[in-house]
Homo-oligomer: A and B are copies of this chain.
Amino acid sequence: MDDRIWAWAPATVANVGPGFDVFGFAIEGAGDRVAARRRDEPGVVLVGVEGDEGRLPRDAESNTAGVAARALLEAVGETEFGIELSLEKETPLASGLGSSAASAVAAVTAVNELLSSPASLPVLLQCATEAERAACGFAPADNTAPSLLGGFVLVRGGTPPRVAQLPVPEGLSCALLHPHQQVRTEEARAVLPESVPLATAVEQWGNVAAFVAGLVQGELDLLRSSIHDAIAEPVRKANVKGFEEVSRAALDAGALGCGLSGSGPSIFALCHSPARAEEVVRAMSIALEKATDDRGDILVSPVGVAGARITTEGSSV
């Protein structure tokens, strides 16, 4: 009998519009699965990683799933037993879809089921975020929080990070295009300015305010006018071939707005309905192909699906 506990954690879109480092939401159709079982010896071991074409670290000390599991054992003071993990990646790596966050969140979710006294969500969030930080050098919880909790999430600093879930208008959908390019999170962060002109910062938080007001009140015009990032996107978009063309195609096809998911290269477009998102994502893919000879991978998801969960063996959701 398989005594493993399986958990699934969704991929996530972060840096949504003006909400650099503060907004993120969970999507369906991509994510990571972790299986965990107790072992008699203390410590965490990673016995298998699939779906990454051999590119992720195989040792539990370096892989975010292993780091997150160990952080959780330490947080709850568990020394009686250890954990054996295996990881199945269904989130593309270095895509801007919160791949390392999904691994970390799936790991803490699975391991938590093995504890005699399960930890609280804030503790799980803290452990997953620490693990992502170990992998990426920096992690503001804007991927780990929506992956763990689901929904559209506002993240602010703190230990554990302070999180608020925001309601989302009925039907709001995300068109996602993942170009076959890779952007390393560390490098994408290195191109950011250390400081921003005050006028630019004011413009950004005016848009953040309009975005939240639009989201919570379901006012699509406010959303449409505020999905704009004056901080990261101007310096990061140069690293994503075809970004301008894809972005224009998304807007022309009726998206409310468009931007880089995380640090890219994935490009998200928010749409008022699933049907519109289907049209938009096709237009984005065609535009990418025209610009780069790559159609990329496409995905359409509601904005803010359920977060991490325990699953039965083999099932993804």
**A binding-site residues for B, Cβ under 8 Å:** 18-23, 140, 154-157, 162, 164, 166-167, 192-198, 201-213, 216-217, 222, 225, 231
Contacts and interface: CB of A to CB of B under 8 A. Distances in A.
A192 B198 contact: yes
The secondary-structure label for the interface of chain A is mixed
A292 B227 CA distance: 46
A225 to B, nearest CB: 7
Contact of A201 (B156, B166, B217, B231): B231
A94 to B, nearest CB: 22
B164 A210 contact: yes
Given A156-B206, A202-B20, A162 B225 contact: yes
Contacts of A208: 205, 208-209, 212
Given A157-B206, A209-B211, 19 more contacts: A19-B205, A140-B202, A154-B206, A156-B207, A164-B210, A195-B196, A195-B197, A195-B198, A195-B201, A196-B196, A196-B201, A201-B205, A201-B231, A208-B208, A209-B209, A209-B212, A212-B213, A212-B216, A216-B217
17 contacts: A154-B210, A154-B213, A155-B206, A156-B203, A156-B207, A156-B210, A164-B213, A193-B198, A195-B196, A198-B231, A201-B204, A204-B205, A205-B208, A208-B212, A209-B212, A212-B212, A212-B216
Nearest to A225: B162
A52 to B, nearest CB: 30
Contact of A197 (B21, B162, B194): B194
A256 to B, nearest CB: 16
This protein's copies in its complex: 2
Contacts of A194: 197-198
Contacts of A195: 195-198, 201
Contact of A205 (B205, B217, B222): B205
Contacts of A19: 205, 209
A154 B219 CA distance: 14
A87 B232 CA distance: 47
Interface-central residue, A195, A198, A205, A231, by most chain B CB under 10 Å: A205
Contacts of A164: 210, 213, 222
A23 B209 contact: yes
Contacts of A154: 206, 209-210, 213
A212 B206 CA distance: 11
Interface-central residue, A155, A201, A231, by most chain B CB under 10 Å: A201
Query: Which 9 A-B pairs have CB atoms at the shortest separation, nearest pair first?
Result: A205-B205, A156-B206, A212-B212, A205-B208, A201-B201, A195-B195, A22-B206, A216-B216, A21-B202
A197 to B, nearest CB: 5
